Structure 1
Amino acid sequence: MTGRASAGRSGKSATLAGIGALVLWASLALLGRLAAGLPPLQITAMAFAVGGVLGTAAVVLRGELGQLQQPALAWLHGVGGLFGYHALYFAALALAPAVEANLLNYLWPLLIVLLSGPLLGLPLGARRLSGVALGFCGCALIVGAGASFPPGAGAGFLCAAAAALVWALYSVTSRRMAAVPTAAVAGFCLVTAVLAALAHALFERTVLPGAGQWVVVVLMGLGPVGAAFFLWDIGMKRGDPRLLGTLGYAVPVASTLLLILLGGGELGWRVVVAMLLVAGGGWMAARAA
């Protein structure tokens, strides 16, 4: 009983760590909007350089530098997830209206819940699936019939949906990478920064950041593009991915409201109803846990 209770406490602590990542990610859309004017790949490279350097420094101070030596599959999984998601996400914010793209990106909690069944063998149940359906309806409302957007927004919405799929796959399959220590995330961040910098050099024109943009990039690297990854890694590997996936539905509500307060969009009826459906679906599915 003692071992089982200890494992239960460890699992709850890990889930709380994952929730901490969700709180940090609520600020990502706002920070991405504040960095407007910088190319998506340049933002990705700069933010991950900050997060990677700070994370690696922490690893060195803890004497865990050897944990960066991981198999090629672990590097492919870590770097592919971090680089793929954020390049697509920042592109979505640059190409489409920020509020709508941000909400569509939050298909990833829905996909985490759905993929936890076939990929991890975790039971879903009628209540979770009903909550997922509500969340999906909220996202569908954003880009459904009757919605009007500027030319080129379609490409941004496709990037947002692709980002959601990449992050869901990365998150769920992290469970199968349980042997890879969380300290290795620092290395993944550094390599992501290098890849993003190379891609930026090939496909974008460099824009010199202003003082405010530098502050935003540093904040990204400290929080949603830094510490959040370590917390999320702990949560997905040792916590409850179904609960974290469903609680993730609260993030688009918080991040969308922050965007609107900044002036990054309007609080129209579609946005309000979509947020209610997304949050209500997450609440319903979370109660199943």
Structure 2
Amino acid sequence: MEVKSQRQAMLYGLMAVLLWSTVATAFKLSLQHLTPIQLVLFASLTSVLSLGIWVTIKKSWREVVSAFKNKPGYYLLMGLLNPFLYYIVLFKAYDLLPAQQAQPLNYTWALTLTILSVPMLGQRLTKIDSLACCLGYTGALIIATGGNIMTLNFQSPLGVILALTSTLLWALYWIYNTRNNDNPIAGLLLCFLCGMPFVIAANLFFGESFTFNWQGIAGAIYVGLFEMGITFVLWLTALKKATHIARISNLIFISPFLSLLLISFILGEPIAPSTFIGLVIIVTAVVIQQKQKGTYDHDNTHQHLRETS
């Protein structure tokens, strides 16, 4: 039985938040040397290895095998969504947009989830939900247009479409995942294992020729460890140790702002006032939405951090 300790939970939670805050910068640095499809390949391989090592240490391979035997079709679908479609679309968005635009736009996935929950989960869209969605997408529009919302002048229309499409894919993955009671780490490993054939096939048929570049490989390994792998384990550990889970959940609101700071200092992107204003509006919308619910879905709280990429 997990020993509860709020202090340790906060430590693990902060470690997860800090690591996830770095990945937007890591995406852009890696994409200077790899194509989006290549980045998905090497990052996914790293994630499979890291999660596989963890499962081996925990002697949980029997759970992995059992979960796949019970639901092979489910995990093939999940692997198609994540890592294959989600990360290819997300990385292409980062390839086309400044990181300071792609990162906050991807953060609107929680609003997309609210909308999809109506037809897919039979939930009702309340007035607060509608307000939060309108507010959040206004913030997204401010970011995407650089503050020129009246002219609708987008730096990269395709990049904006892809960034918003990534929120749709992640929301779908989250909705399907809410009904899964398997060990979450075993389940995530299965998603990546089942997604690898799609990723490999995409690299064979659509990928460009690969020239070994240590900066690109190092970046992909970093992404695989700290966006897709180890950080997930840290976050789950924080949730298990927490005596007040809501306090851990609230740490997610630190991540997008830390990410902007790193984007500015490491990538050298001057953060536009419109980006900061838009992000504040988006985060406010998400806070309003979560306050209405009273708390997070604790079994799936780890999902809320992944949108901060």
Indicate the TM-score class for this superposition, using the shorter chain for normalisation. 0.7 to 0.9
- What's the offset of the Cα at 1:221? 1.5
Counterpart of 1:96 in structure 2 is: 97
- What's the offset of the Cα at 1:280? 1.9
Say whether 1:258 aligns with 2:262. Answer: yes
Alignment of 1:167-186 (within 5 A): 167-179=170-182, 181-186=184-189
Distance 1:121 1:249, change over 3 A: farther
Counterpart of 1:61 in structure 2 is: 57
Say whether 1:221 aligns with 2:257. Answer: no
Query: Match of 1:183, as an amino acid?
Result: A
CA RMSD of the aligned region, Å?
3.8
Aligned to 2:276, which of 249, 269, 272?
Answer: 272
Contact 1:110–1:245, Cα closer than 8 Å, also in 2: no
Query: Match of 2:165, as an amino acid?
Result: A
Cα distance in 2 between the residues matched to 1:174 and 1:235 = 20
- What's the offset of the Cα at 1:182? 3.2
Distance 1:243 1:130, change over 3 A: farther
Counterpart of 2:299 in structure 1 is: none
Task: State the identity %.
Answer: 23
- What's the offset of the Cα at 1:215? 2.4
Contact 1:44–1:193, Cα closer than 8 Å, also in 2: no
Deviations 1:99-133 (A, max 9, x none): 22222222212122444455445677544543343
Cα distance in 2 between the residues matched to 1:271 and 1:20 = 25
Counterpart of 2:192 in structure 1 is: 189
Contact 1:135–1:249, Cα closer than 8 Å, also in 2: no
Aligned-partner SS, 1:146: coil
Query: Match of 1:29, as an amino acid?
Result: A
Counterpart of 2:306 in structure 1 is: none
- What's the offset of the Cα at 1:177? 1.6
Query: Match of 1:146, as an amino acid?
Result: T
- What's the offset of the Cα at 1:259? 1.6
Query: Match of 2:22, as an amino acid?
Result: S
Matched residue count: 275
Aligned to 2:151, which of 138, 143, 146?
Answer: 146
TM-score, normalised via structure 1 length: 0.78
Alignment of 1:195-210 (within 5 A): 195-210=198-213
Distance 1:199 1:19, change over 3 A: farther
Contact 2:100–2:271, Cα closer than 8 Å, also in 1: no
Aligned-partner SS, 2:208: coil
Alignment of 1:1-289 (within 5 A): 24-35=19-30, 36-69=32-65, 70=68, 71-82=71-82, 83-116=84-117, 119-120=120-121, 125-143=126-144, 144-146=149-151, 148-150=153-155, 153-179=156-182, 181-229=184-232, 251-263=255-267, 265-288=269-292, 289=294
- What's the offset of the Cα at 1:256? 3.0
Contact 1:247–1:282, Cα closer than 8 Å, also in 2: no
Contact 1:79–1:192, Cα closer than 8 Å, also in 2: yes
Contact 2:80–2:194, Cα closer than 8 Å, also in 1: no
Deviations 1:241-269 (A, max 9, x none): x9999976654333233222223533223
- What's the offset of the Cα at 1:32? 0.4
- What's the offset of the Cα at 1:75? 1.1
Cα distance in 1 between the residues matched to 2:46 and 2:186 = 16
Query: Match of 1:61, as an amino acid?
Result: I
Mark the runs of 5 or more structure 1 residues left unpaired by the alignment.
1-5, 237-241
- What's the offset of the Cα at 1:55? 0.7
- What's the offset of the Cα at 1:41? 0.7
Deviations 1:198-219 (A, max 9, x none): 2112112133343333322222
Aligned-partner SS, 1:32: helix
Cα distance in 2 between the residues matched to 1:264 and 1:247 = 26
Contact 2:42–2:217, Cα closer than 8 Å, also in 1: no
